[in-house]
């Protein structure tokens, strides 16, 4: 079951394209659909701003099977999954590659 989420997270790829992901608590259960996703540690700063520490970025044809509870995610205090639904595999692969070219991930 998907809830309303925690808000949007905009990520700019190496190409300059901007991608808008929807943030959810890490334990959210999703239906079966394709998506690009990233796992993060969502933090609230004292001034009220929210930031995300990038832990992992991947793509899947079935988000209901995406990895959410791994030791490396737990070790990096993962608490959030941000998703960008995309059914087309080539689009998912292209977006994932574009993001990996710009950012370093902990896992």
CB atoms within 10 A of CB 60: 20
Please, are residues 33 and 62 in contact by the beta-carbon 8 Å criterion?
yes
Q: What is the pLDDT of residue 16?
A: 97
Please, are residues 7 and 25 in contact by the beta-carbon 8 Å criterion?
no
Q: What is the pLDDT of residue 3?
A: 64
Query: How many structural domains is the chain composed of?
Result: 1
On whether residue 1 sits in a domain, the answer given is no
On whether residue 19 sits in a domain, the answer given is yes
Q: What is the pLDDT of residue 18?
A: 97
On whether residue 47 sits in a domain, the answer given is yes
* 1, pLDDT greater than 50: no
pLDDT digits over 44-96, tens only?
Answer: 888 888 888 999 999 999 999 877 778 889 899 999 999 999 999 999 999 99
On whether residue 81 sits in a domain, the answer given is yes
On whether residue 107 sits in a domain, the answer given is no
- Residue 1, C-beta contacts closer than 8 angstroms, at least 6 positions apart: 29
Host domain of residue 18: 7-102
Q: What is the pLDDT of residue 57?
A: 95
**What mean pLDDT is reported for the chain?**
92
Please, are residues 12 and 1 in contact by the beta-carbon 8 Å criterion?
no
In 1-107 the beta strands, taken as DSSP E runs, fall at 7-12, 18-25, 35-44, 50-60, 80-85
On whether residue 2 sits in a domain, the answer given is no
- Residue 75, C-beta contacts closer than 8 angstroms, at least 6 positions apart: none
The percent of residues in the chain predicted with pLDDT above 90, rounded, is: 74
């Amino acid at each position: 079951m998907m809830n309303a989420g925690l808000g949007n997270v905009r990520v700019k790829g190496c190409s300059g394209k901007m991608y808008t992901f929807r943030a959810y608590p890490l334990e959210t259960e999703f239906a079966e659909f394709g998506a690009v996703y990233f796992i993060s540690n969502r933090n609230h700063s004292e001034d009220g701003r929210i930031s995300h520490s990038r832990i992992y970025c991947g793509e899947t044809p079935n988000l209901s099977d995406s990895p959410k509870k791994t030791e490396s995610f737990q070790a990096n205090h993962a608490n959030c999954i941000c998703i960008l639904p995309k059914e087309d595999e080539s689009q998912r692969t292209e977006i994932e590659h574009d993001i990996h070219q710009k950012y370093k991930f902990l896992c």
